[in-house]
């Protein structure tokens, strides 16, 4: 996996950290081969800094874990990439384009909290999405509902939390997007529901698309990740290929994450 950071050995451990490169080096990177880039990305909420000069580049066709504790800046980054928030400084590029109207056409965003009306039936929500998004595949959505044993005529308010999460995921993954941004898709659901959700992501992904999954439940998602990013207090700590990191460290991604956090 390519990125715009350089490796730094962390004293006393076998952990390798990533420090941002200088501005001149950043400018040498081409945007053509990357599906998602953060360039000097900073976001402040008043006096609180949520993201601090974050730099990285993600290639297409990968499932990437955006991994960090609650409040680390994961949701802020995803919302900026989805065009919901504006950065204080720096920018995000989606397939080489500045975030805007054109990128929203190719980005499918799953927010952490539901935004759907509880009185609506699943079938009506699918019809609404099919009318709103040109790349929404209604047939795929209905097939996913069947595979997840969800009744298309059921109202959202009658569903368990796990099943409501599944409905939201169906809506997001039924778009033929180039970039999928999934914010805590398995948080707050039981282990069985987590397996269903992760399998749905794997089964319905476009091989050429990029999927970014933000989560603090690293042990649950690491088996499907191609690459990962560690983030804490708005700063990028590490970015690496998942298999390479496991081979080099002799640890799982979850174990490596805990080690990195303990060193700070």
Indicate the burial class of 27 (C-beta count within 10 angstroms; 0-12, 13-18, 19 or more). Answer: exposed
For residue 244, CA distances in Å to 59, 212, 225, 247 come to: 16, 19, 12, 5
List CB contacts of 262: < 8 A, sequence separation 6 or more: none
Instruction: Please report, in angstroms and rounded to a whole number, the separation of the first and last CA atoms in the chain.
Output: 25
The answer to whether residues 80 and 43 touch, using CB atoms and an 8 Å cutoff, is yes
**CB neighbourhood size of 191 (10 A):** 9
**CB neighbourhood size of 229 (10 A):** 26
Q: For residue 264, what pLDDT is reported?
A: 57
Q: For residue 7, what pLDDT is reported?
A: 38
List CB contacts of 128: < 8 A, sequence separation 6 or more: 120
Give residue for tokens 């990177």: 29
167: three-class secondary structure by DSSP = helix
Show the domains of the chain with their CATH numbers: 5-262 (3.40.50.300)
Distance CA 181, CA 107 (A): 7
Residue-level pLDDT, tens digit, the chain, 264 residues: 434 343 333 333 344 444 443 343 333 334 447 899 999 999 999 999 999 999 999 989 999 999 998 889 999 999 999 999 999 999 999 999 999 999 999 999 999 887 888 899 999 999 999 999 999 999 999 999 998 899 999 999 999 888 888 899 999 999 999 999 999 998 877 888 788 888 888 888 888 899 999 999 999 999 999 999 999 999 999 999 999 999 999 999 999 999 987 765
Q: Which two tokens stand for residue 69?
A: 């504790």
Q: For residue 46, what pLDDT is reported?
A: 94
- Phi, psi for residue 210 in degrees, rounded to 5: -105, 135
Q: For residue 11, what pLDDT is reported?
A: 34
**Span 128-141, pLDDT tens digits:** 999 999 999 999 99
Crossing angle (nearest 10°) for helices 138-147 and 161-173: 150
* Run of H or E including 210: strand 210-215
Angle 92-97-101 from CA coordinates, rounded to 5° = 95
**Span 171-221, pLDDT tens digits:** 999 999 999 999 999 887 788 878 888 888 888 888 889 999 999 999 999
Plot region of 82 (φ>0 → left; ψ -120 to 50 → alpha; else → beta): alpha
């Amino acid at each position: 996996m390519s990125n715009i950071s350089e490796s730094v050995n962390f004293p006393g451990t076998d952990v390798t950290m990533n420090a941002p490169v200088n501005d001149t080096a950043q400018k040498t990177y081409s945007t053509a081969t990357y599906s998602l880039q953060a360039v000097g990305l900073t976001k402040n909420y008043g006096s609180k800094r949520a993201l601090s000069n974050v730099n990285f580049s993600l290639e297409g066709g990968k499932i990437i874990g955006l991994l960090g504790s609650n409040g680390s800046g994961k949701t802020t980054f995803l919302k900026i990439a989805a065009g919901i928030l504006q950065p204080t400084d720096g920018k995000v590029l989606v397939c080489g384009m500045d975030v805007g109207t054109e990128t929203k056409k190719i980005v499918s965003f799953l927010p952490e909290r539901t935004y759907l009306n509880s009185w609506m039936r699943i079938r009506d929500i699918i019809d609404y999405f099919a009318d709103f998004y040109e790349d929404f595949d209604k047939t795929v959505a209905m097939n996913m509902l069947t595979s997840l044993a969800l009744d298309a005529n059921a109202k959202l308010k009658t569903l368990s939390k796990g099943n409501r999460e599944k409905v939201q995921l169906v809506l997001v993954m039924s778009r033929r997007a180039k970039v999928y941004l999934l914010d805590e898709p398995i948080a707050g659901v039981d282990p069985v529901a987590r397996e269903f959700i992760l399998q749905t992501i794997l089964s319905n992904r476009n091989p050429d698309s990029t999927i970014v999954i933000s989560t603090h439940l690293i042990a649950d998602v690491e088996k499907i990740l191609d690459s990962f990013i560690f983030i804490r207090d708005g700063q990028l700590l590490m970015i690496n290929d998942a298999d390479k990191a496991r081979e080099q460290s002799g640890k799982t991604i979850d174990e490596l994450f805990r080690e990195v956090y303990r060193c700070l």
